[in-house]
Amino acid sequence: MHAFTRPSRRSLLAFGALAPLAAVTPAAAATGTVIGGARLARDGVQATLTAGLPKKLTARAWLLADHDTGEVLASYRAHRRLAPASTLKMLFADSLLGKFERTERYTVTEADLAGLPPGSSLVGLEPGVTYTVEQLWQGVFLRSGNDAVHILALMNGGVAKSVADMRAKAADLQALDTHVVSCDGYDHTGQLSSAYDLTLFARHGLRNADFRAYCSTKAADFPAGGRRTFRIENTDRLLSGTYGVTPYDGMIGVKNGYTSHAGNTFTGAATRDGRTLLVTVLHPESGNNAVYEETAALLDWGFGKGRSAGSVGRLVDPLSEGGASASPSGKTPHAGAQAAKDGGSGGGWGVLGGAGGAILLLAAGAYGARRRRRAEGARGTARQATTDPQPAMRETPHAATRETPDRATRETPHPEPDSPR
C-alpha cells in the first residue's frame, strides 16, 4: 500500500485557490444559467445572419452588440474568461467615476507612487505636482496610466477598498466572468474577464457623461510641474488614427489594452445614423493593429448587413437598475461575484465558489477516500490506494508579466506602445 501523507489545510487552500486563476468556462458553470442567453455559451460564431461577417477574425473571443437595445448581434466565445489588460480600467471608472468632483485637487507624493508594478503604463505623474480629478481621469483614459489609477484608488480609501468596490460593481452589473485582483488590469494571477463582461462595462460607462467625454478625448495638455505641460494623446488608434490605423467614422472610444500575457484587447463604440454599436475583441493572433482592424470589420458588418441580424443574446441590466437576476435562487454565484459579495481580497476561503469549490471538493474527497482505504488496510483489507487528482490544465495568467501598453514619456513617446515583447 502506498504511504499516505495527510494534506494540510494550507495545501487544500492552495489547491482550491487554483480555481479563480483559470476557469475559462462561462458563468453558467456555476449558476446553471448563461448570462445573456444560452447561445452565448456555445462554441463557434453565433449569429442569426452570417452573410458578410468578417471571415478572417483571429481573436480568441469577440462580441458585437447594440448599445441602446442591449441585443447581441454576433459573438464568438462571449463568456470565455481571458486576461483583460487595461480594458479592465472601464470597470474601475464605472466604480469610482462619480465619487469625486472634476475640480477636486490632489498633490502627489513620493510615497503615493511607490509600489507600482515594473513596466506599468504611466501617464507621468510627478511628486510635488498637484492634479485635478479631471486630469487624473484623462491620464487613465488617454494614456492608460497606472499611476493615475493608483492615485484615484488612494483617494477612494486605498487599493484594497477600490478592488472591493470594483468587485461589487461587477456583481451589480452581473459581470460574473470577471475576477478583479488589481485596479489597473495589470497581469495578476486570477485577473480575468470576458468579451461579454467588458462590453457590459462599456455600455454602463457610456451612459455617464463624464465617462463618455473622457473616452472620446483625442488629446489633452497634462501638467508637468510649475506652469509647464506636455501633450498626451489617446492610445485608441481607431479614435486617434495613429500608427497606420485610419480613424473609424463615428468612433466614440472606449478602451484598449495590452500586456505581454493578455496580448491586445479592445472594447470600442461607434455611432452612425443615430445607432451606437459596441464591440469587444480579445487576443487576436497577430499583434499591433489587428485588434483595431478586427474591431472595424465587425463594426462595418454591424452598421451594414448586421442591421437585419436578429439577437443571439442580450446585455443584461444592472441589478441596481431593476435588472432581473441571472443567477437562480439557491445557486452558487461565480467566484468573482462571490468574492465581491464577501468583500475579500481574492485569497483564502472567500473565493472558492464555482470551479474553485469543485476543485477543493475533489481534493477533500480524495483525502476522505484515502482515509477510508487506510482504515481498511489496517483491518487487513488490501486495496490499492489512488493518487491525488490533479487539476485540469487551464488558460491561466502568469503571476508576473510585464505590462507595456501605451507607456507615456514626456520627451520621446514609445514608438510602438502596443508591440509585444
Residues involved in catalysis: 86, 89, 144
Assess contact for 395 and 82: CB atoms under 8 A.
yes
3-state SS track over the chain = CCCCCCCCHHHHHHHHCCHHHHCCCCCHHHHCCCCCCHHHHCCCEEECCCCCCCCCCCCCEEEEEECCCCEEEEEECCCCCECCHHHHHHHHHHHHHHHCCCCCEEECCCHHHCCCCCCCCCCCCCCCCEEEHHHHHHHHHHHCCHHHHHHHHHHCCCHHHHHHHHHHHHHHHCCCCCECCCCCCCCCCCCEECHHHHHHHHHHHHCCHHHHHHHCCCEEEEEEECCEEEEEECCCHHHHCCCCCCCCCCEEEEEEEEECCCEEEEEEEEEECCEEEEEEEECCCCCCCHHHHHHHHHHHHHHCHHHHCCCCEECCCCHHHCCCCCCCCCCCCCHHHHHHHHCCCCCHHHHCCHHHHHHHHHHHHHHHHHHHHHHHHHCCCCCCCCCCCCCCCCCCCCCCCCCCCCCCCCCCCCCCCCCCC
Q: CB within 8 A of 253, min separation 6: which ones?
A: 141, 206, 212, 214, 215, 216, 234, 236, 239, 268, 269
C-alpha cell at 88: 479592465
- C-alpha distances (whole Å) from 346 to each of 20, 21, 151, 168, 281 are 8, 10, 22, 13, 26
- What dihedral do alpha carbons 151, 155, 159, 163 form, nearest 10°? -110
- Rg, the chain, Cα only: 23
